[in-house]
A and B are shown apart, each in its own frame.
Chain A
Amino acid sequence: DAGVIQSPRHEVTEMGQEVTLRCKPISGHNSLFWYRQTMMRGLELLIYFNNNVPIDDSGMPEDRFSAKMPNASFSTLKIQPSEPRDSAVYFCASSLSDRREQYFGPGTRLTVT
């Protein structure tokens, strides 16, 4: 079975540009999570959805970040405008709502210059 799919795997962009990260969860999973990993702050939850509805977005850094889940098989995380401090690895994870473990995608390494 396919795992969580993320695209792109690497993104290099200039400050001020819009960045869109994409995620396809494991088929049948109804919870989806976006995390960010940096050396300074470790792994942080940005937002999570249950049945396509945002449940907790308290980790979203600021208004420059937005996330959507238009259907059960697709989610986006958008940063507009991007800043150098947004450089990080962004992970998407999914789980079944009656299971606690989360399965992670390969991550998107974002570099903002």
Chain B
Amino acid sequence: AQKVTQAQTEISVVEKEDVTLDCVYETRDTTYYLFWYKQPPSGELVFLIRRNSFDEQNEISGRYSWNFQKSTSSFNFTITASQVVDSAVYFCALQAGNNRKLIWGLGTSLAVNP
């Protein structure tokens, strides 16, 4: 079975704090893909990153960074020096094997307060 767990339902931080959003996944497929999406208050879903199971390199994009660890089946997302505009619900998702279906976590609601 495939599953994505985002244990943190809500996180509240003060602007400029660093924050890490956790994602743990389960799959028996050896080839899989992991994603993060952002859903701001306006409601749209914005693609942030995709990671392949065979590429464990961490990635940094501006204030965003992602830590992929197969040993712990985790794909965590860190926002450095958070800003109010980062306030959103963040979803982690999994695609396994040849299936294009995205398996979603329940999301983490991040509130960045001024």
Contacts and interface: CB of A to CB of B under 8 A. Distances in A.
Interface residues of A, number: 25
Given A42-B106, A100-B95, A31 B45 contact: no
Contacts of B64: none
Contact of B100 (A48, A91, A109): A48
Main secondary structure of the interface of A (DSSP, over half): strand
B45 A104 contact: yes
A43 interface: yes
Given A100-B33, A101-B50, A104-B44, A33 B104 contact: no
A89 B100 contact: no
Contacts of B99: 56
19 contacts: A33-B100, A44-B104, A45-B101, A48-B100, A55-B100, A56-B99, A56-B100, A59-B101, A100-B33, A100-B35, A100-B50, A100-B100, A101-B47, A102-B47, A104-B37, A104-B44, A104-B47, A106-B44, A107-B44
Interface of A: 31, 33, 35, 42-45, 48, 50, 55-56, 59, 89, 91, 93, 95, 100-107, 109
Interface of B: 33, 35, 37, 43-47, 50, 91, 95, 99-102, 104-107
